[in-house]
Chain A
Amino acid sequence: NAGVTQTPKFRVLKTGQSMTLLCAQDMNHEYMYWYRQDPGMGLRLIHYSVGEGTTAKGEVPDGYNVSRLKKQNFLLGLESAAPSQTSVYFCASSWGLSRADTQYFGPGTRLTVL
């Protein structure tokens, strides 16, 4: 099992460009999450999904959109990237029996917006 994978691992964008980050999990988890991590700010939840076809906003959703068309995939989109979105992005998944389930994190995507 690969667990949670993220692509790409690194990306540099110019302001105004768009991109999509892909998260995939092979554990048949119901819940999936997107976080961003900035120095001194910890993990901040961007969006999450409690099942295929459903998404919800987290703590810092502005400037991002998500889709969960397939249970195993959770996409994070940036329509018009801004320097403030320079960050490390982590995807996570959990079983979904409850929100207290252990979260399994992917290796992260390091994004720089110039």
Chain B
Amino acid sequence: GQQVMQIPQYQHVQEGEDFTTYCNSSTTLSNIQWYKQRPGGHPVFLIQLVKSGEVKKQKRLTFQFGEAKKNSSLHITATQTTDVGTYFCAGDPLSNSGYALNFGKGTSLLVTP
């Protein structure tokens, strides 16, 4: 079936280091969304990417959508302890006849001071 794969599953960095999580789809996506879940919390929407090759920035976070619209990445520059949490991508496959996004399993980020 249609899947959205995320790597790595876990990442542990020192505060100030950079962090990147990758999302790969087996099929072309019409768009992709990113969510963040703080420990003990619920997923919260961060951003949506729609266009091929699109790059969006939110302060220290940079989101990219691949040219083929099959992959995406989230890069955090100079991590802070407030970045701790799990980051999910959610893709909307072009061929999807259903009504729901396909969520990746998430990347859990731990930042130590």
Contact = CB atoms under 8 A, between A and B. Distances in A.
Given A43-B43, A43-B88, A58 B100 contact: yes
B72 interface: no
A23 to B, nearest CB: 12
Contact of A107 (B6, B42, B88, B103): B42
Interface in B5-38: 6, 9, 30-31, 33, 35
Contact of B100 (A48, A104, A107): A48
A100 B92 contact: yes
Given A43-B43, A106-B42, A99 B103 contact: no
Contacts of B104: 42
A78 interface: no
Interface size class of A (residues with CB under 8 A): 20 to 34
Contacts of B101: 99-100, 103
Given A40-B9, A40-B105, A43-B103, A102 B98 contact: no
A74 B30 CA distance: 28
A56 B100 CA distance: 10
B58 to A, nearest CB: 15
B33 A90 contact: no
A103 B45 contact: yes
Interface in A18-49: 31, 33, 35, 40-45, 48
Nearest to B6: A42
Contact of B43 (A45, A90, A100): A90
Contacts of A92: 43
A56 B31 CA distance: 23
Contacts of A108: 42
Interface of A: 31, 33, 35, 40-45, 48, 50, 56, 58, 90, 92, 99-100, 102-108
Interface of B: 6, 9, 30-31, 33, 35, 41-45, 48, 88, 90, 92, 96, 98-101, 103-106
